[in-house]
Amino acid sequence: MKALICKNGKIETVEKTVPVIEKNTDAIIKVTLSSICTSDLHIIHGFVPLAKDGVVLGHEFAGEVVETGDGVKDFKKGDRVSVNCETFCGVCGFCKKGFVNNCINGGWELGCKIDGCQAEYVRVPYADNGLTKLPDNVSYENALFVGDILSSGYWGAELCEITKGDTIAVIGAGPVGLCAMQCAKILGAGKVIAVDIDKNRLELAQKLGFADFISEPENCEESIKEITKYGADAVIEAAGGENTFELAYKIARPNAVVALVAMYEKNQILPLPEMYGKNLIFKTGGVDAVHCKELVKLIAEGKITTDFLITHRFSFDNIKDAYKLFEEKSENCLKVAVEY
């Protein structure tokens, strides 16, 4: 089968053997649609020490079940599924609390420690936990982002502990930020303020009805104070830019949650003496993608959509061009869909 690997910081397409069931809880999925995530770029750039050299990249995809191990109870050959970016056992102490990102038997494995989805077939461990069945009215396209960026956006909104009517600022109107805006509304936010350096993305956030107000970072502190006197009730930092961490705690009101869902490439400074008394709550980290079923249901009911994210399509044979376009963010690219 055809696959895209990352070796010594470079991507290349190679021929590989089709994966087989290794444990009875595995399933083999025929990939119908996959995407490229910024985390894939982080691996290529060497910022993910856990990543195995030569691994097949990719962890954001949908496809069809072609084979299941004896221990897989909820899925069978022919099922249409979206796949969770995280691998988790479901029974360890962390999994039982819903902290699946820290599963002692899993975590971010696909496309990092084990072969991922930028290939014709992929082996998914703990398939009963990692797969979500798609109802007939949800297409592969509709469900492409469920297991990763939509989950990340939902998680960011969930971290904010939103109470009805809250004003939520979202820094970064990229794919995760746009998902977070929608999810914040679903969880009860009254107003959403989108912050980005990219005017096109801000306009899109407003046009789609996800953001009630938009602001560029420079005048963000003032404009937020005009909208809400004391600062945002919670801030979702989904940009991971040079100064976006600083901006996040500055635009938060005292006692707000600052949810950091961005993946930084550099250390960030937390000036505790300056912010003493502001009593902020910082929440950090990588998504616990445990709401895939609810997210698919919300898509099926038409309450949430990620269709607008697919701005470009490529066949697998041109996947290197897809990486180039995605990395350069040229042609207002939000996300690419790679077809197999």
Binding site for Zn ion (CB under 5 A): 37, 39, 88-89, 92, 95, 103, 148
State how far the Cα of 27 lies from the Cα of 53, in Å rounded to an integer. 24
* Residue among 223 and 311 whose Cβ is closer to Zn ion: 311
Cα–Cα dist 215/192, whole Å = 11
- What is the nearest approach in angstroms of Zn ion to the Cβ of residue 251? 26
**Can you give the C-alpha Rg of the chain in angstroms?**
20
DSSP-derived pairing of the beta strands 191-195 and 121-124: unpaired
Which is closer to Zn ion, CB of 103 or CB of 119? Answer: 103
Residue (110 or 170) nearer to Zn ion, CB: 110
- C-beta of 180: minimal distance to Zn ion in Å? 14
| Minimum separation from the CB atom of position 126 to Zn ion (A) | 8
Q: How far is the CB of 78 from Zn ion (least distance, A)?
A: 27
Six token digits for residue 157: 């909104």
Smallest distance from the beta carbon of 295 to Zn ion, in angstroms? 15
**Residue (75 or 126) nearer to Zn ion, CB:** 126
Q: How far is the CB of 96 from Zn ion (least distance, A)?
A: 8
Nearer to Zn ion, 43 or 251 (CB): 43
Minimum CB separation from Zn ion for residue 93, in Å? 8
Q: State CA 62 to chain mean position distance.
A: 14
Q: How far is the CB of 83 from Zn ion (least distance, A)?
A: 12
Q: Which is nearer to Zn ion, 57 or 325 (CB)?
A: 57
The pair of structure tokens assigned to 243 is 């100064």
Determine the Cα–Cα distance for residues 330 and 206; give it in Å rounded to an integer.
21
CB nearer to Zn ion: pick between 45 and 199: 45
Cβ count near 268 (within 10 Å): 17
Q: Are 41 and 327 in contact (CB under 8 A)?
A: yes
User: What's the min distance (Å) between Cβ of 106 and Zn ion?
Assistant: 6
- CA pseudo-torsion sign 228, 212, 188, 201: negative
Q: Between 39 and 142, name the residue whose CB sits nearer to Zn ion.
A: 39
Cβ closer to Zn ion: 103 or 181?
A: 103
